[in-house]
Amino acid sequence: MMPISVLSSIVESGFKPLSCECTESLGLLENTIFDPGTRQIVLFIRNVSAADLTSIRSINNLIAELRREINAGRRAFAG
């Protein structure tokens, strides 16, 4: 498994020009994607299993899925 710090860094870099904060707790990730100027949250998703993100491909698939959600104009609040 990839170290969480590396995984978080890759995910966080995938949303420019937006900002992303990726945190981990008990093997689950929480991602907050927001406008860096206004700090307005564009997308918030939690409980993403870090165990499923074992390759660059799987990380890219997650980023692409979250980008589709943003582009569709949806806000996801999973809980």
**How does pLDDT run along the chain (79 residues), one tens digit per residue?**
788 888 889 999 999 999 999 999 998 999 999 999 999 999 999 999 999 898 999 999 999 999 998 888 755 444 4
pLDDT at res. 64: 96
The Cα 66–Cα 34 span in angstroms is 12
Beta strands 19-25 and 41-49 are unpaired
For the chain, the domains span 4-71
How far is Cα 52 from Cα 62, in angstroms, rounded to an integer?
Answer: 10
At the top level of CATH, the class of 4-71 is alpha beta
Tell me, what's the pLDDT at 71?
84
Q: What pLDDT does residue 74 have?
A: 54
